[in-house]
Amino acid sequence: MRTWNGRVESDSGLRADKYIAEVVGILGRSQLKARNALLLVNGKAAKFSRKLIRGEAIELTWSDEPERDLIAEELRVSLLYEDENVFVFDKAQGMVTHPAAGNWRGTLANAALWLDAQRRGGGAAPRGGIVHRLDKDTSGVIIVARNTAAHGFLAAQFKNRSARKEYIALLQGIPREESGRIENNLARDKRDRKKFAPAESGGKPAVTDYRLISRWALKPGCEYSLVALYPRTGRTHQLRVHMAGLGCPIVGDPLYGKKDRYFPEATLMLHARRLKILLPSQGEASIFQAP
């Protein structure tokens, strides 16, 4: 990734994308999308359609490589359900959901494209794609649209929050309350751009409900718990940040956790267990579960 910082030097009132292309001259307007560019104005996430004002601070981050055409690949995946509109997978831990810089092959999207072509007997497939994402190190249920209409139908349910997701996680420590809600705003951590953190101002709203399932005490001061997590929003790293905020980071979390003496080789213990969503052409919501 590359980053550029600067300040708006004119009162032209240009859109951010036009200002970056015509005044700054770093990337053309078409390249902003192709390079997965992200924009911060005065430290807050902003759209490229935003009009800029003299003196505002701009931070632009983009990929070194332009986005490439998706390549179909035969990969080992666990298919939970399929019909003419969707695939539902149990994504393996360690598999990237969608291609990006450094991960153009071997992703779930590559596998879904290959599987769709096999089902159709070859030829160009109607454009569908990833509807929601799971972090690379998170396993579990994920739905992929097989056509444009299905993609829009499913994406709307994530946007209006009618789609329901349940995760399970193994935590270091035990939450003080057996159930509760965590609600705050999250923004990229200014000290570490790989991380997100609660924001006193700005950021995006993030809401997570949780419920304690079981607990263990290996010895005094060494406790673990299994919890069910219900994200009501879908922010990047939301569940990981919220559990760390409770003082109970997820076991195996390299960003927000700490080295665990009893599970030193553990990877991220976070699993998307259940998804409830209405499928196209069906009258009732379906529930998919990954063991």
What letters, b where the CB count within 10 A reaches 16 and e where it falls short, cover 213-225? Answer: eeeeeeeeeeebb
Amino acid letter for position 173? G
Taking the C-alpha atoms of residue 182 and residue 239, their distance in angstroms, rounded to an integer, is: 10
Give Cα 143 to chain centroid, integer Å: 13
Joined together, the tokens standing for residue 219 give 């010895």
Q: Tokens 């009132």 appear where?
A: 13
**Residue 168 CB-half CA count within 13 A:** 11
Taking the C-alpha atoms of residue 61 and residue 236, their distance in angstroms, rounded to an integer, is: 16
Q: Dihedral angle at the C-alpha atoms of 260, 187, 166, 264, nearest 10 degrees?
A: -10
Q: Tokens 């080789």 appear where?
A: 265
Closest CA to 15 of 42, 39, 44: 39
According to DSSP, the residues that pair with 207 across neighbouring strands are 183
Catalytic residue among 17, 90, 116, 135: 135
Give Cα 6 to chain centroid, integer Å: 28
DSSP SS3 for 31: helix
Q: What angle do CA 20, 197, 63 make, to 5 degrees?
A: 35
Contact criterion met (CB below 8 Å) for 260 and 172: yes
Closest CA to 97 of 125, 139, 63: 139
Decide if 135 is catalytic.
yes
Catalytic residues: 135
